[in-house]
Every structure is written in structure tokens, then in C-alpha cells.
Amino acid sequence: MNDLLERLARKHDVPSAQLVVRHGGESTEANVGVGPDAAFPLGSLTKPFTAALVLTLADDGDLDLDEPLPKLPVTPRQLLTHTSGLAANVEQATVSRRRWAARQGPDDLVHRPGELFSYSNAGYVLAGHLVEDVTGVNWQDAVESILLWPLRITPAFVTGRTERRAVPGHSGTRVIAGQSLPELEAPAGGLALSARDLVTFALNHDAAMSHDHLAGHRAGPYGLADGWGLGWAVYGQTWSGHDGTGDGTSCHLRFDGDTVVALTTDSAGGSALWQDLVDELRSDGVPVGDHRPTSTAPEASASQAEALTGRYANGDALVDVTHDGERLGLSIDGGPATTVTCHADLTFTVPGSPATPGRFLPGRLLQLGGRTARPAQDEGTAL
């Protein structure tokens, strides 16, 4: 296993990584550049921990997963399944979670609650605030005392105080000493752990977190997973997990019963390393769940593609779609346009390492990286 991880780390320019594979009742570990106890910034892999806090409070009778929040027609269940209607990104990141939560109202929703999947950092910030409101302690203390202390896991945090230091990220040859995540967004991405810690958490999670809640949704988690539960993504029929990227980090977790695969890396190249690792493990008899949608449809006609052009919005996030007579161009938040090939089934793939799948949906919806956007002129109106 060490030879495999070292080879893939060299290929993808990853200075440090941890890998734990538990299969058939046995665990195998590999470490490159660090020891097994090093903590890696988890990015969005923090979200299942926030979800687990919410479910713990629900199991104790301290909150109702289906009771709307006081100022929003949104339930905790919808926050955890990314169907709340909240925007993908958090705005006003310099305020406290309490002040930010108090400012959220129905006019801030980008679609009707429960109708669509749209991956939302804002939703998990609100879930973290809900935990704080119910417990009376801050999110960081709640994660540590309610979830991790019973599992004998010492966390590191990328914001606020921390007793355990997180490894820095890397972008090429540049070392990223600290994560740029605002403290407000800690419930969506502020935790740092080792691959060992991730395996321990996966083996002790609440099974309710893995039940797919999105069957039948007209905009499911395309580009991210095959389904979504109360915190965990669903891959295929039986695998659960989550991915997370930070500033120069990439971490991945998958599990199916007693089989668990956890990878932590300190480089953006870790995402491509993960895809190669999945292929290698599958060839060795570990059928790791992953989401890689492909299309066999022919290329979209010029008229089909032309009809998709325009500006799409999800909160402050904007995607401009253009057509030059042959290919679509996508520009995100005013950046340079990327040329993509759109298929007749209206799916497309944005080039990259790894590539990012996207699609257009009826009703003039654009889904990219799990975020669902609509024509900018329609913002503020019901879908």
C-alpha cells in the first residue's frame, strides 16, 4: 500500500498524504511525508460532522428535523440534504454566525425549499448555528465534546483556537500556511483530522445519515454523487461518503458497511490522485463507490446549444454561457471562458484535473458542481 500511495503522490505532485483501507475485517495504512496522526484540513468533509451533531440533537428530542426554522420556511432536514433553497455561497462572511443567521429570510432563497438539490455552504453554516442555538455552546466545542471526545479523537480546527496543528496545503511549489476560511463558515469546512480519524468516524456514524433522500428530485446531486442523505453523499446503491477541498488540500472518504477508504492529501492534486486510487483499489477487489457521470449522447445541435446561452445565477455566484457557433463557453464569476462540449442530453464536462460534470435541466436550470442556478433575470421569483 505504501508503494501505491508513494507512486500516485509522485505522479500528482502531492507532498504528503495518508491512506487507510479497511476491508475484510483488516486495515492497511500508508503515509507519505507525514505520520499517521497528522491532521489535514478537511474542507467540506467537515459537513457530515455538523450533520451528525444535528441528528444527535434530534435523537435526544432537542429539535425536530421537520419543523421549519423561526424566520425561514426551511427545515433542518432540508439543510442537511442541500434542498433548503439557500444560496451556494456565504455572503457577509465577516459577521458572527448569530448575526448572519438573523439576517436570513425568505427573500434570500434561490428556489423553493425541498424542490431541488443545490449544494449549499450557507445551509451548513445555518445548521451549525442551529446546533449552537440549541446547545448553548459554540460549534467547535460541540463537535469536540459531543462527537469526537467519545471516539477519542482530538480535532484540529482551521479557524479559532486549536490544540492540534493542521498540516499546510500546497499549490504547485507554493506552501499555503493557513486556510482562508472565515470563522463564520467553520461548520461547513473548519475541521482537520487524519485518515485514521475519518475511518473511526465512519465506523461509528448514524446509519440514518446515509439514507438517500433525493430519489425523484428533478435536480439531484449530479456532478457530486448519485444521491444524498442527511449529511453523507450516496454513491451507487450502497456506498456513502464525502469529499472535501481546502486551500491546497483534498480529502476523500467512502464506506460501505465495514469497508472504509479514507485519503487525506495536502495538495489540490489530491483530487486526481483519488480518482487513480479508486481505479487501483477496484482492480484489487475493493469496489469503492465514486461518481463519474459520462454521456454517450451525440453532440448537441447548434440550435440546442444556442438556446442555452445567457447568464445564470445562484445568489451572488454567476455563470455566463456563450456559444461561438460550434462550442459552448462557460465563464464563472467573470473569469475567462472555458470551452465545453454539450451533448444532446444537455450534459457537459468542464475540462480540469479532474473534470467537472454539469448539465442543463428543463426550466432553464444549470447545474455545475452540484450547484443549481437559473437565469439571472429570474432571481427572486419562484421556480
pLDDT along the chain (383 residues), means of 10: 94 97 94 97 98 97 96 96 95 83 90 94 97 97 96 94 89 91 96 98 92 88 95 95 97 96 96 97 95 92 93 94 92 92 93 88 92 80 44
Q: Which residue has the cell 435541466?
A: 361
- Buried/exposed code over 64-87 (b: 16+ C-beta within 10 A; e: otherwise): ebeeebeebebbbbbbbbbbbbbb
What pLDDT score was predicted for residue 378? 65
Mind giving me the DSSP string for 10-35?
A: HHTT-S-EEEEEEETTEEEEEEESS-
> Helices 2-11 and 270-283, interaxial angle, to 10°?
140
pTM of the model: 0.95
Report helix, strand or coil for 195.
helix
C-alpha dist (Å) from residue 252 to 69, 74, 216, 258, 263 = 31, 29, 27, 17, 5
Place of cell 493557513: 178
For cell 468516524, the residue is 201
- What is the phi/psi pair of residue 165, to 5°? -85, 135
Q: State residue 381's pLDDT score.
A: 47
Q: How far is 95 from 318, CA to CA, in rounded Å?
A: 23
pLDDT of residue 1: 86
Residues contacting residue 287 through CB under 8 Å, at least 6 positions apart:
none
Contact 190, 181 (CB under 8 A): yes
